[in-house]
Amino acid sequence: MRLPLSVVLLQHTRELGRPTATGPLLVHDSLQPHLRVQSWTWAGRGDNDRIERQLETLTAPVLLWTGAGDNTADTDDAAAVDDGPHDYIVLDGTWQEAKSIYRKGPDCLRACPRAALVGGPSRYVLRGDYGWRERFGARAGPGAA
């Protein structure tokens, strides 16, 4: 990959006000030498024509999306993507919102070649066992005496 990377952050409008949004991370001063970031918003199908026109201005758009087996992709595998230069499109929102942009967004978005990040298992825990069984009693279920 060649630096600086060109990144298009396609944000669901609900993501804009969240303190955990990706946008502020990507525009942090420390990343400026490495990234050129454009921020676009998507509120629904009414924005598809605008997004399609914006995508047409990109030289080599690549959708940063999951690989095969995710049940959301229209193709079997992420396309083989050369070393660039590319405009990497990142769908930003909750998983449900990002999937909504992918499914309901313009057809040309789904037609973009895809690059998938591949890594090991995550150590991030979405929900943990906060001791509810001990606090509320493990015997509270069916058959409890």
Residue 2 DSSP class: P
Give the 3-state secondary structure of residue 132: helix
CA dihedral 11, 17, 23, 24 (to 10 degrees): 180
pLDDT bracket for residue 133 (50, 70, 90): low
Q: Across residues 23-27, what is the average pLDDT?
A: 84
Answering whether pTM is above 0.75, one says no
Residues 145 and 131: their CA atoms lie apart, in Å, by 21
Contact assessment for residue 42 and residue 10, using Cβ atoms and an 8 Å cutoff:
yes
Tell me the per-residue pLDDT of 68-124, one tens digit each, with 9 for 90 and over: 444 444 444 455 566 778 999 999 998 899 999 999 999 999 999 998 877 777 776
